Structure 1
Amino acid sequence: MRLATWNVNSLRTRIDRVEALLERHDIDVLAVQETKAREDQLPLMGLQAAGYEVAALGHDQWNGVAIISRVGLTDVTEGFPGMPAFNDKHEARALGATCDGVRVWSLYVPNGRKPDDPHYAYKLEWLAALRAASQEWRDQPTALVGDWNVCPYDEDCFDPSQFTKSTHLTQPERDAFFAVEGDYADVVRPHCPGPEVYTYWDYYRQRFERNRGLRIDFVLGSPTFADRVTGAFIDTDERNPAQGTDKPSDHAPVVVDLTD
């Protein structure tokens, strides 16, 4: 199986790029974040014609997650047990499905905005609830994949000194990430070691061209999932405007290979 995760920053805008990525890398399962649409607004006919099933969760033009699979898509679950709400609203940030025996969770972790913002407390609560729920899943092949909005290590950020008053690098966020990673393994880092290995580059001031990025997109696998991983890579060409990519997302896809 070849599994990928990608924050597409609007699935409607980049559906052509998603279809091309699936074909170019022969991907079996793609977890998508930041779809920015309800399911009925998504242009899915091309994916379905290519043999893919799609499960999507979206409430409006913000957030949104999806799973695209050609190897089965069953037991679809919207949100995880204990997932908190923000301002009394459960946002579209977590979608689970079983694909050829692997439980895949497409996750879009809250950004947090600023350390003194209520969204930051929500982010920490969200990650704590994910950790608690995911402990119940680790005995089966499970992948927690997506945009985590956390740089676990300093090498995952082009310049940590620029983030002393913002989110992504604070110790409580890192501790929340490591709590999940204590039960699940980062299966990409061994194949894509840093430093200066990133998955996100802001559109601002040619951040990609200068490789001023962040590594915030991860595939964390349960023991029985991690044991099957044979390789992984980050498709930075998909983010590179110089490659002729039409309207690139600010994130790059992360791809993982598994044995049968």
Structure 2
Amino acid sequence: MKIATYNVNGINGRLAVLLRWLELAEPDVVCLQELKAPDERFPESSIRELGYDAIWLGQKSWNGVAILSRVGEIHETRRGLPGEQEDVQSRYIEAAVNGVLIGGLYLPNGNPRPGPKFDYKLRWFDRLRDHLSTLVSLDAPVFIAGDFNVMPTDLDVYVPERWRDDALFAPEVREAYAQLLAQGWTDALRHLHPGERVYTFWKYWRNSFERDAGLRIDHILLNHKAKARLVSAEVDRRPRGWEKTSDHAPVVVEIADKPSRKRKA
């Protein structure tokens, strides 16, 4: 089964790119971020024509998350994170699909730093950590996928010294991400590509994509049950080179039907 995350940066304005990628890559389950559309403007019919069911949590002009599946019914388990009842930003959705649990997220950007947006980002990270602590030990594969808006290490950012004051690279944010991993989550891309510079986002200006001057801010985290079935984890760079495309590229993991068994010596 192939599970992907993709920040589409406006689902209606870039619908042709999304549909083209879905047909080309054939992912089984996809978490989408930055829909930038209210619920009633989600392009459900176009997505269903490709064989995908969908659930979504939209928001006018900003944010918005969705989960697509072509491998079975989507059983929604949560929309929105607990812990801040007055928070109306559409940033988290969760569902059981084909025997696995999927959490799709769009973590706040947090800029400018310092300021209220950065404070909100740290509070949101705290709420995420509290919620994920209830999922990491489940007796089922769990995947937390999305745009985390954090570069965990210097290896995850082109010219890191230029980003020291940015909210995506702040020490507090990187520490919050490290605390997530300390719960028992595995960063799929970094696990299979240790020491490699792998990016998922490139700004539109100064030929950033052509120069590979990017950031790794889109992540898929696995609990122990999911990690045991992990086959591959890659960035699909193809759609980033298309016209009128998102500034993000999809991240795709492939998992086996059963946990891998190590051969006895």
Verify same fold: TM over 0.5.
yes
- 1:247 Cα deviation after fit: 0.6
Whether the 8 Å contact between 1:32 and 1:146 is mirrored in structure 2 is yes
CA distance in 1 between partners of 2:243 and 2:97 (Å):
30
Look up the match of 1:115. 113
The residue correspondences of 1:46-57 to structure 2 (distance < 5 A) are 46-57=46-57
Give, as a single letter, the amino acid of the residue that structure 1 aligns with 2:225.
T
The residue correspondences of 1:10-25 to structure 2 (distance < 5 A) are 10-25=10-25
- The yes-or-no answer on 1:255 pairing with 2:235 is no
Q: TM-score, normalised by structure 1?
A: 0.93
CA distance in 1 between partners of 2:66 and 2:119 (Å):
25
Structure 1 runs of 4+ aligned residues shifted over 2 Å read 190-196
User: What is the number of equivalent residue pairs in this alignment?
Assistant: 253
SS of corresponding position for 2:93: strand
Look up the match of 1:105. 103
Look up the match of 1:43. 43
SS of corresponding position for 2:13: coil
SS of corresponding position for 1:205: coil
Whether the 8 Å contact between 1:196 and 1:211 is mirrored in structure 2 is no
SS of corresponding position for 2:31: strand
CA distance in 1 between partners of 2:195 and 2:89 (Å):
32
CA distance in 2 between partners of 1:44 and 1:257 (Å):
25
Look up the match of 2:127. 129
Look up the match of 1:147. 147
SS of corresponding position for 2:209: coil
Whether the 8 Å contact between 2:23 and 2:50 is mirrored in structure 1 is no
- 1:162 Cα deviation after fit: 0.9
CA distances 1:109-156 after superposition (whole Å, capped 9, x unpaired): 000002211111111111111111111111232111000000100010
Whether the 8 Å contact between 1:156 and 1:196 is mirrored in structure 2 is yes
Residues 187 and 77 (structure 1 numbering): CA distance in 2 closer, same or farther, change over 3 Å?
Answer: same
Whether the 8 Å contact between 2:110 and 2:121 is mirrored in structure 1 is yes
CA RMSD of aligned residues (A): 1.4
- 1:76 Cα deviation after fit: 4.0
The residue correspondences of 1:72-111 to structure 2 (distance < 5 A) are 72-82=73-83, 84=84, 88-111=86-109
The residue correspondences of 1:176-191 to structure 2 (distance < 5 A) are 176-182=176-182, 183-191=184-192
The residue correspondences of 1:195-206 to structure 2 (distance < 5 A) are 195-206=196-207
Whether the 8 Å contact between 2:42 and 2:58 is mirrored in structure 1 is no
Q: Report the identity percentage.
A: 36
Which segments of 5 or more consecutive residues in structure 1 lack a partner in the other structure? none
Look up the match of 1:168. 168
CA distance in 2 between partners of 1:194 and 1:6 (Å):
23
